[in-house]
A and B are shown apart, each in its own frame.
Chain A
Amino acid sequence: MNVPTLKIENLKLGFDTYAGMTEVLHGISLHIGRGEKVALVGESGSGKSVTARIVLGMLQSLKTARISGSVFFEGIDLERMSARGRHALRGTKMSMIFQDPTSSLNPVYRIGTLFKEVLMRNEPAITHEQVRRKACEALADVAIAEPERVLDSYAFQLSGGMNQRVMIAMALVNNPSLLLADEPGTALDVTVQAQTLKLMGELVEKHHTSVLFISHNLGVVREFADRVYVIYKGNIVEQGPTGELFDNPLHPYTRALLAAVPRITGGGIPDIADDPSAFLAPLVTHSGHSEKELLA
């Protein structure tokens, strides 16, 4: 297999607090191959979002953060890169989509202006006409019918679903090789969310972009991801291909997580957690899907 877009090895993260060190990640390893869609699933506070922050190099500058382990982006160790080099990757080769699309777009600028700023990251000398053309194409790709009108609008004039699609278009307009999606669309209603995710899936395939999809929504993960990592309290507890993991969860925590999904047929809240200590059991991999085998 060729070099994975993202490879995280034994990543540990702690924060210095007045009460001593709080460990957040206890040594997680994961990787995303080129064009692969990988989901990182876990409950609130399990360490999903900080993982994304570390990949983007946003936590390294924090004085209280203690990070060890390594993050390789396209085979290059981010730790060995200069701050300037890491900075150059953001917004060009890596980009990110957020939970709440509307608050992520600055309300005082038109969408067209925001697009210009994103495009200028890649091509500082880009002309106004080129910006319009590229932005229109990108918006047309996310099934926005009147791209010209949207470019002249402000974020608060568009619906949440529209803003989400604008965000996706913006995130992909520079052809990044890695897209970090932190619970995209959680702020939207379910039908819109399903549509935009389908669109996003098609687009990343077209752009050959790898995706790290961070979510607590199992239904969405099942639709979207090729492979899944389940994270619990800063440890990866189970990993495997989506279908297999959902049909045959091996780890007690994954089983509890799946049992907690509400069923449309009713039946109330399921009984969970006969024994939470079992959730801390070591990593379970589906056959042929351990890090070693996949990266071999």
Chain B
Amino acid sequence: MKKTLVILTRNPLSLIGLLLVATVVLSAIFADFIVPFPDHQGAVVDFVNFNKPPEWPYIFGTDLVGRDLFTRIIYAYRISLALGLVVLAIAVPIGVAIGLFAGYLGGWTEYVLMRVTDVFLSIPPLVLAMSVMGLLEPTLTNGMIAVTAMWWPWYTRLVYNLARSEKEEGYVLAAEIIGASRLHIMFREILPNCVPSILTKMTLDFGFVILIASSLSFLGLGVQPPTPDLGSMVAEGAKYLPDSWWLTVFPGLAILVAVFGFNLIGDALREILGVEEQ
């Protein structure tokens, strides 16, 4: 772990990624201490200072009801990161478990599980998430459910392929012969050998989950006002382009910074852990 961090700081690109992600994560955690107007995360109205271009103390300007954009972006990071964490924490175990069962057991288990996975993979992700959101109320929790529903099949496919190749390795045969149970072989022998690939994909995906969640709220299907969210901030500001450019540019850049940072780290991890591109 320590060694990985050292290698990460050596490569300029991954160092940039590390710095970007660290900035995003730290500002989200310590939001209460950084932001100039903590109460602006909620339903506050300040018509004296509404729609102001960037100027002190509103470094990113203010929105249409006079709330500080910088404050709202930092709090939006909090929600995006929490959403990314929850989605991956649910989608990855589900996807990995299904992939292991399908890849190792084979036969009809593989057939059924992989066909179901294929059905999910064949639907465009955003459409799937939108239809889930259409069925449910647009809230943060339901946004998580929608994104999770479209995310697990990718892990199933990744782990399925890995498990199928690891299954032929000598140590799996050795474990079978010595009498290890199937569950033991799947989760104690094969899974640890898949961890580098899973970890790399998770890092890359963290950025994409944030992006998809933003797309959903851009379409009005995610977090609802007054809760700050990068996607809905961009959508709101887009109506006032190009005059009130700060309303879209800063939230957009915020999305870019987070996604770009996670991608750089993911690429670096892939190289360090020697994971082949899928």
Q: B178 touching A108 by the CB < 8 A rule?
A: no
Q: Who on chain A is nearest to B107 by CB? A: A63
* A90-B170 contact in complex given A106-B193, A108-B193, C-beta closer than 8 Å: no
* In the complex, B6 has a CB within 8 A of chain A: no
Q: Is B192 an interface residue (CB 8 A)?
A: yes
Residues of B within 8 A of A229 (CB): none
A106 to B170, CA, bound (A): 8
Query: A106-B189, A107-B193, A108-B192 known; A91 and B177 CB under 8 Å?
Result: yes
Most chain A beta-carbon neighbours within 10 Å: one of B170, B175, B195: B170
**Interface residue count on the A side (C-beta < 8 Å):** 23
B residues 176-190 touching A (CB-CB < 8 Å): 176-180, 189
Please tell me if B173 contacts chain A, counting CB pairs below 8 Å. yes
Known: A107-B193, A108-B192. A90 touches B179 (CB 8 A): yes
Q: Are A96's CB and B177's CB within 8 A?
A: yes
Partner pick for B179 among A91, A103, A105, A107, CB 8 A cutoff: A91
Q: Closest B residue to A52 by CB, please name it.
A: B177
What A residues does B177 contact at CB under 8 A? 56, 58, 90-91, 95-96
| Of A88, A92, A104, the contact of B174 (CB 8 Å cutoff) | A104
**Closest approach, in angstroms, between the C-beta of A83 and any C-beta of chain B?**
11
- How far, in angstroms, from A121 to B189 measured CA to CA in the complex? 16
Contact B178–A103 (Cβ < 8 Å): no
For the complex, is B46 an interface residue (Cβ under 8 Å from A)?
A: no
A20-61 vs B, CB cutoff 8 Å, 1 = contact: the mask equals 000000000000000000000000000000000000101000
Contact partners of A95 in chain B: CB under 8 A: 177-178
Give the one of B169, B176, B177 with max A CB within 10 A.
B177
Least CB distance from A91 to B in Å reads 4
Question: Closest CB of chain B to A164's CB: distance in Å?
Answer: 12
Q: A100 and B179: CB pair below 8 A?
A: no
Residues in B with CB closer than 8 Å to A90 are 177-179
Docked CA distance A198–B178 (Å): 24
Roughly how many angstroms separate A248 CA and B84 CA in the complex, as a whole number?
A: 74
Chain A nearest CB from B159 CB (Å) reads: 15
Q: Does any Cβ of B come within 8 Å of A98's Cβ?
A: yes
Q: Which residues of B lie under 8 Å from residue A200 when comparing CB positions?
A: none
B240 is an interface residue with CB less than 8 A from chain A: no
A-chain residues with CB within 8 Å of residue B170 when the two chains form the complex: 98-100, 102-105
Q: How large is the interface on B (under 10, 10 to 19, 20 to 34, 35 or more residues)?
A: 10 to 19
Question: Which A residues are in CB contact (< 8 Å) with B174?
Answer: 96, 98, 104-105
A88 engages B171 (CB within 8 Å)? no
Chain B residues near A105: list those with CB within 8 A. 170-171, 174
Residues on the A chain within 8 Å of B189, using CB: 106
Q: Which of A94-129 contact B (CB under 8 A)?
A: 95-96, 98-100, 102-109, 117-118, 121
A103 contact set on B, CB distance < 8 A: 169-171
Question: Measured between alpha carbons, how far is A95 from B193 in the docked complex, in Å?
Answer: 24
Task: Tell whether, in the assembled complex, residue B179 and residue A88 are in contact, meaning their CB atoms are under 8 Å apart.
Answer: yes
Q: How far does the alpha carbon of A150 sit from the alpha carbon of B171 in the complex, in Å?
A: 18
User: Taking the complex as formed, is A87 at the interface, i.e. its CB lies under 8 A from any CB of chain B?
Assistant: yes
B170 CB to nearest chain A CB (Å): 4
Q: Which residues of B contact A106 (CB under 8 A)?
A: 171, 175, 189, 192-193
Residues in B with CB closer than 8 Å to A108 are 192-193, 195
Residues of B within 8 A of A109 (CB): 192
Task: Kindly provide the distance from the CB of B255 to the nearest chain A CB, expressed in whole angstroms.
Answer: 36
Provide the bound-state CA to CA distance between A168 and B94, in Å.
Answer: 38
* Cα separation A152 to B116 with both chains bound (whole Å): 43
Closest-by-CB residue of A relative to B192 is A108
- Per-residue 0/1 for A66-102: is the Cβ within 8 Å of any B Cβ (1 yes, 0 no)? 0000000000000000000001101110011011101
Q: Which B residues lie within 8 Å of A88 (CB)?
A: 179
B195 CB to closest chain A CB (Å) equals 8
Residues facing B in A125-161 (CB within 8 A) are none
The answer to whether B173 and A98 touch across the interface, beta carbons within 8 angstroms, is yes
Please provide the chain B residues from 148 to 183 with a CB less than 8 Å away from any CB of chain A in the complex.
169-171, 173-180
Q: List 7 A-B contacts (CB under 8 A).
A: A58-B177, A91-B177, A96-B177, A98-B170, A107-B171, A108-B192, A121-B178
Interface residues of B (CB under 8 A from A): 169-171, 173-180, 189, 192-193, 195
A-B pairs with lowest CB-CB distance, top 3 = A91-B178, A103-B170, A104-B170
- List 13 additional A-B contacts (Cβ < 8 Å) besides A100-B170, A106-B175, A106-B193: A58-B176, A90-B177, A91-B177, A91-B179, A95-B177, A96-B174, A103-B169, A105-B170, A105-B174, A106-B171, A106-B192, A117-B180, A118-B178
